[in-house]
Copies of this chain bind each other. A is one copy, B any other.
Amino acid sequence: MDTSRLEAFSDGVVAILITIMVLELKVPHDASWGALVELEPVLLAYVLSFVYLGIYWNNHHHLIYATERVSGPVLWANLHLLFWLSLVPFATAWMGENSFATVPTACYGCVLLAAGLAYTILVRSIIKQDGPSSKLASAIGNDLKGYLSLALYVVAIPLAFVRNYVAGAIYVFVALMWLVPDRRIESRLAR
């Protein structure tokens, strides 16, 4: 099986996820700026998740581009990643509607952690399939940024119970760290 249909399906799911999040922006009945200001935490959470899904779309694109073919395990590892990403709209709405309360903020971190782990599993299963001398294996290298992100999520989740804004700041920091596309793969492919 070649990678094109996997790519199209994943793109479709991410495009829908990034879009239906907007359905959680409940239209206020009141026609005042005040009604919009009350939506502020919901909007902030929406922006953060939009950026995260954009990052996943972007990195997933580079990843599949470097993949040679798609076996059964890779396909299910990809669906496993999509499953956790599909929970992002839920976690976003819960966190936003409760103004970054502790439990929803920790829960948001859990979904990010699970999605991060699922991405790592997907990368590993592709490398296992394509072999240690494949383009992807050499491009990913020791995957410092990936493991650092996972570690930061693990730190942020308990911190949400102490200082919720610290957890929020860590989520923003990880997003900024990834806003730069994965140049490792790009530069390897360019050679």
Contact = CB atoms under 8 A, between A and B. Distances in A.
Given A1-B61, A180-B72, A13 B19 contact: yes
B5 A7 contact: yes
A86 B22 contact: yes
A101 to B, nearest CB: 4
Interface in A121-159: none
B61 A104 contact: no
A90 to B, nearest CB: 5
Given A58-B75, A72-B181, A93-B27, A17 B20 contact: no
Contacts of A98: 31
Interface in A45-65: 47, 50, 54, 57-58, 61, 65
Interface string A4-43: 0101110111111111111111011101110010000000
Contact of A19 (B20, B47, B54): B20
Interface residues of A, number: 56
Given A1-B61, A104-B31, A15 B12 contact: yes
Given A16-B15, A107-B36, A87 B22 contact: yes
A89 interface: yes
A13 B15 contact: yes
Nearest to A82: B18
A4 to B, nearest CB: 10
A20 B18 contact: no
A117 interface: no
A188 to B, nearest CB: 14
Contacts of A86: 18-19, 21-22, 50
A174 interface: no
